[in-house]
Amino acid sequence: MSKVVTLVPMLLRLLILLFSSYVGIKAPNDSYYYETGKPAKFQTVVLSERGKPISGHRVKLYAYKLDKNWWWDVSDYNISTYNASDSKTPAFTLEATTGGDGKAIFQCQY
């Protein structure tokens, strides 16, 4: 049993060090959505595997427009069913470079 216990921290350390950098994004509001037709600011931060800010790192922001469609179908036997479908369409792509604090800000309006 002690072999398993000593192996777990080693595996966790290995998983944490899989990437040389990590990117975090802050949503433009507390609802985690972007309302079209209004300006929005997306903030990102890039950190090293040790949690230190990385400056000069190129970051791309991909945005998609999400739609939900619904309708009623009626069969030959007059049985109605509710149907729904989701769709995702590319809206825009932006690029920025992180500053000395590891942060990049995207200003957009779609």
**pLDDT of the chain, 110 residues: tens digit per residue:** 434 444 555 555 555 557 888 898 887 777 767 777 888 888 999 998 888 999 999 999 888 888 899 988 888 787 888 899 999 999 889 999 999 999 999 888 77
Amino acid identity of 56? Answer: G
Is 69:87 a contact under the CB 8 Å cutoff? Answer: yes
Residue 18: the pLDDT is 73
pTM (whole model) above 0.75: no
Residues ≥6 apart with Cβ < 8 Å to 6: none
